[in-house]
């Protein structure tokens, strides 16, 4: 899949700053497909905006996915806590489906369209550019309390950043009908940056386990 990212930052940056900076940030991604952890949501190109605010160790934000030629809509909120090599997150995923009849403020555990996930990520293992992410759905529409684990390797080749990843689930749930690898692929991207904006060109490929 081919991704073109146009990222506009509302903060002020120095030469040593990165995208994950203090202050307010706005991003808008356009993807050929929204495929997440082995599932294709919307089966069409997807517009994916994100608004976040970072202060100290915390980032509060909202992320969305809106299919361009289907009815799939997703609006999520998240809170990250970053400390040294660790990131701990809580996500509230919400999509328009028939579970709650489209009522956003229905948080009943029996019929809500919200799913809450707790995520722990080790961003680097020692001196190795390896990261480990583990997510657990603890409340909401996923009554199987699915678990997702991902190992990723990051690097740079001729000024092109890349990441190779492998994601799996240990049991039956929303990601697959049984345990196994559900997501295997890579991402290649290059950031072009000036005073107030970023342009990122990215190409991704992935294998996704099909479900019955």
Choose between 151 and 113: higher pLDDT: 151
Averaged pLDDT for residues 164-181: 93
Distance of CA 30 to the CA centre of its chain: 14
* Residue at token pair 């809580």: 90
Question: What is the per-residue pLDDT for 71?
Answer: 83
Positive/negative CA dihedral, 15, 26, 67, 94: positive
Greatest mean pLDDT range, 35-39, 72-76, 93-97: 72-76
Half-sphere exposure of 38 (CA within 13 A, CB side): 24
Helices (H), the chain: none
Tell me how far apart the alpha carbons of residues 140 and 137 are, in angstroms, rounded to a whole number: 8
88 φ/ψ angles, rounded to the nearest 5 degrees = -115, 130
Q: What is the pLDDT of residues 102-124, one digit of tens each?
A: 678 888 887 888 999 999 999 99
Above 50 in pLDDT, residue 74?
yes
CA–CA gap between residue 1 and residue 43 (Å, rounded): 13
Is the per-residue pLDDT at 17 higher than 60? Answer: no
* Structure tokens belonging to residue 41: 């949501």
């Amino acid at each position: 899949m081919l991704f073109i990212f146009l990222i506009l930052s509302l903060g002020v940056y120095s030469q040593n700053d990165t995208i994950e900076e203090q202050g307010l940030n706005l991003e808008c991604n356009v993807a050929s497909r929204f495929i997440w952890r082995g599932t294709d949501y919307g089966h069409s190109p997807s517009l994916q905006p994100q608004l976040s605010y970072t202060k100290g160790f915390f980032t509060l934000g909202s992320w969305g996915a809106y299919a361009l030629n289907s009815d799939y809509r997703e609006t999520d909120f998240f809170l990250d806590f970053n400390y040294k090599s660790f990131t701990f997150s809580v996500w509230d995923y919400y999509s328009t489906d028939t579970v709650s009849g489209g009522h956003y403020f229905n948080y009943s555990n029996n019929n809500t369209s919200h799913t809450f996930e707790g995520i722990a990520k080790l961003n680097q293992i020692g001196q190795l550019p390896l990261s480990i992410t583990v997510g657990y759905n603890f409340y909401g529409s996923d009554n199987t309390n699915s678990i997702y684990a991902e190992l990723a390797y990051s690097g740079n080749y001729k000024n092109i950043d890349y990441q190779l990843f492998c994601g799996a689930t240990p049991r039956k749930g929303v990601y697959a009908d049984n345990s196994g690898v559900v997501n295997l692929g890579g991402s290649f991207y290059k950031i072009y940056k000036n005073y107030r904006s970023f342009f990122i060109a990215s190409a991704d490929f992935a294998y996704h386990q099909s479900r019955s």
